[in-house]
Structure formats: C-alpha cells, structure tokens
Amino acid sequence: MTEEALLETLVWAKLFDHLLDEATAQAFMNERIELETLREVIGGSKHIVRDGGLLRLAHHEVAKITIEQRKKRAVQHLEELRPVLQILVGLPQIEGLAITGSVAAGINDEDGDVDVLIITRPGWVWRVRAVAIYLAHRHPNGQRLCPNMVMASDHLAIEQSLYGAREMMLMQPIKDEGGISTMQEANPWVETMLPNASYRATIAHSSSKRGAPWWWAICRMPLLGRLFERFESSRRIRELKRASRSSEAIYTRSICRGHENNHRTTIEQRLEQAMEGLQ
C-alpha cells in the first residue's frame, strides 16, 4: 500500500509535468510515512527513478531545462503581478489572499495565469470580485490575474477530496488577517488526508492604498455599498449560472468559484487511468 501511495503521488505530479523531491513527495502522500521508510520504498520500486535530487516515474522523461524554464516563469509572472497584488493586499475587506495552482507549486507555462484565492468579509464577495476583475482587465500588469475563488469568511468549508487537500496544502498565503487560518480550521479533514504535510506559512506581501477603481469608494459606503453588492451578486450569479457547464463551479452570494473546466474531475479521471496503466 505504501508504494501505491507514493506512485499515486508521482503520477499526480506527472499530470502537471512536475518532478518532486523526497520531502515534497512525502508531504503529498495520503499515508503517514517516515522519510527513511520512503527511501526504502523508492529503492525497492521498479517504477521509480531518482533523477538528481528529484523522483520520477521510470517512463516519465522531463527535460531539466524545461523544468527550470517553468520555475523561472512562475517567479517572473508573480513579479509582473506584484503591483496588482499590492492593491488587493491593501483592501481591508480582504481577510485572506493566497497564490494557488501552478504558480504556488513553483512552475508555470508561458501563457499561464496566476490563480488566487480571495477571502472576504461576509457580504463583500461580489464587490471585491468586481475589483479583482477590473484589475485583471484594466491594470497594465493585471492580465495574468485569475481570481477563480472568492469566498466569504463564514463560508469556507469545501468538499472533501485528495485533489482539494493537495490544493489547500499547495497554496501560498500572502495575506492572512484571519481568513486563511479560518479556512484551514473549517477543513480539518485536509490534515487527516495528508498526514505528512504542513500548511505553508504566510509570506507577507507589501500593500498599496492606491490603484483601486474610482467606484470602489461607492462600494465602501454603508448603504450604497450594500446596494452595489446586491446588484452585482444578483446579475453576476444569474449570468454565470446561465453560462456554466461545470459541476464544480459554485455561484452564490457567499461563494464565487469559477471552476468551469471541471479540473478536479478531469485530474481524478486521468489519475485513475494512469494508475491502472501501472498495474
């Protein structure tokens, strides 16, 4: 069972053309294991090859230059987005902000986005999302911003899955004023599912009080702001639900999760097929 858990982890990484070192492979296994035992499993497996300090499946060839290029792109894309992230960090209505997806894993493609999770005060999801979308389309550095999860701090429980647990452990918080830690507490199953892993510490990001659109001042007014939230949520939820073809997307007043490509389901299916191919 231990070798199967390790193979499943390496297959998962392979789906993203990523290689893992021992410690990372250990962290993302869904079975508790000591590092020394892990090394014994690696040494005795015909399916696993050491490639420098990294592990890969015997049939999985990835050019190291490609990996290095993807690592450099992740750093570059995050740096390009820095002015936009500074604006979001500076909004007090955002209680948690984290980099997710490929960039959080330290890699990205040439045309890749930078996925972010935004946790807002209750009642602010759609106003904050409107600002994020505005920055993505109007800010000169915003084109890579992908705010695909915007959630209120009182609606942070997510459905249990190994995919979701890995996404939670991968994400890199850059602002936590209670939002990120509350999300971790709302999903205690994550640490049970990945018993070797630990959440990443918040890397505090610089902030800016400038850069929000002019209408953000209206959004912050007590009465007009609530009316804006009601108007924006009603029309966007209606539009997004009408256009949605995904079973994973969620659009409510407290959650905007735009997972329109059924990514989790696709990865789970490909993972199952790849594991069957190893048998």
pLDDT at residue 65 greater than cutoff 80 = no
pLDDT at residue 268 greater than cutoff 80 = yes
Segment among 141-145, 167-171, 273-277 with least mean pLDDT: 273-277
- Using a 10 angstrom Cβ sphere, with 0-12 exposed, 13-18 middle and 19 or more buried, the burial of residue 208 is middle
In the chain, domain spans: 2-62, 72-267
Q: How far is CA 20 from the centre of its chain?
A: 18
Phi, psi of 155 (to 5 degrees): -140, 65
- Residue 222's pLDDT band (cuts 50, 70, 90): very high
At 158, the amino acid letter reads I
- For tokens 């918080």, the residue is 173
How far is residue 164's CA from residue 100's CA, in Å, rounded to a whole number? 11
How far is residue 108's CA from residue 106's CA, in Å, rounded to a whole number? 7
Beta bridge partners of 194: none
Give yes or no for a contact between 28 and 9, defined as CB atoms under 8 angstroms apart. Answer: yes
Secondary structure (3-state) at 58: coil
- Residue 62's pLDDT band (cuts 50, 70, 90): low
How far is residue 117's CA from residue 257's CA, in Å, rounded to a whole number? 9
The pLDDT of 158-187, averaged and rounded, is 97
pLDDT at residue 161 greater than cutoff 70 = yes
The pLDDT of 135-152, averaged and rounded, is 97
